Amino acid sequence: MDNLYEFYNFLDLAGTFVFAISGAAAAKQRGLDLFGICAIAFTVACGGGIIRDICIGAIPPAGLTNWHYLVAAIIATAMTIGLYPFVQRLNHPVLLFDALGLSLFAVTGAQKSLAFGHNAEVAVLLGITTAVGGGVLRDILLNRIPVILEKEIYASAALLGALIVVLGNQLQWISRDWVSIIALIVAFGLRLLALHYHWNLPVYSSEKSEKD
């Protein structure tokens, strides 16, 4: 039980950290000031989780009440500012960090919703929300159409991860830890494959070029 709790904690903090780095990098590229970078980093890192906690009745949201999250966001901001040349040299670091955070948050979001006694649908929807909510808020704040609505398979990877968590918990063939690990690997793998092979969901309109 303690192990499980610590495992969730670790997943959550790791997800927070990588999302904060992706947020700080995007904010820095847009020329925001120090507070702006920190605010976007914190929003990407905790925004999805805060929405989830409000919806499942976990008041106050963990993102606000647990200083671990804030410190993780601040360290990520400092790293992104101080070690930017290093961060930049990594190949597509933002995309990689983003894919890892995405998968981690889909799994922890679904697990926490189930732990609060909500049904499978809530767990799946809030797993996705936890995973993509921060990124959607980032794109809204940076005044662009959320990238998850247009680009490669992204939220679909979170959906798959959350679905595996819900099914795994209902079937109970394996322990909850293993369910989380498998869901994490599958979602992360799908996202990486989609990035590499530019897998896209179908688009049904030919009007895009005219509209933009």
Whole-number Å distance between alpha carbons of 97 and 191: 11
89 Cβ neighbours under 8 A, 6+ residues apart: none
**The token pair that represents 48 in the structure block:** 């999805």
- CA–CA gap between residue 157 and residue 163 (Å, rounded): 10
CB of 138 to a copy of itself, least distance (A): 11
Cα 42 to Cα 27: distance, rounded to the nearest angstrom? 11
Compute the distance between CA of residue 7 and CA of residue 12 in angstroms, rounded to an integer: 9
Q: Nearer Cβ to a copy of itself, position 155 or 164? A: 155
- Asked if 26 and 93 touch (Cβ cutoff 8 Å), the reply is no
Interaction with a copy of itself in 114-173: which residues (CB under 8 A)?
118-119, 121-122, 125-126, 136, 140-146, 148-151, 154-156, 159
Query: Does position 57 bind a copy of itself by CB under 8 A?
Result: yes
CB of 167 to a copy of itself, least distance (A): 16
Per-residue binding string, a copy of itself, 66-95, x by CB under 8 A, is xx--x----------x--x-----------
Q: Does 198 bind a copy of itself (CB under 8 A)?
A: no
Please tell me the total number of residues recorded for the chain in this structure. Answer: 212
Interface residues toward a copy of itself, by CB under 8 A: 27-37, 39-40, 50, 54-57, 59-61, 64-67, 70, 81, 84, 118-119, 121-122, 125-126, 136, 140-146, 148-151, 154-156, 159, 200-205, 207-208, 211-212
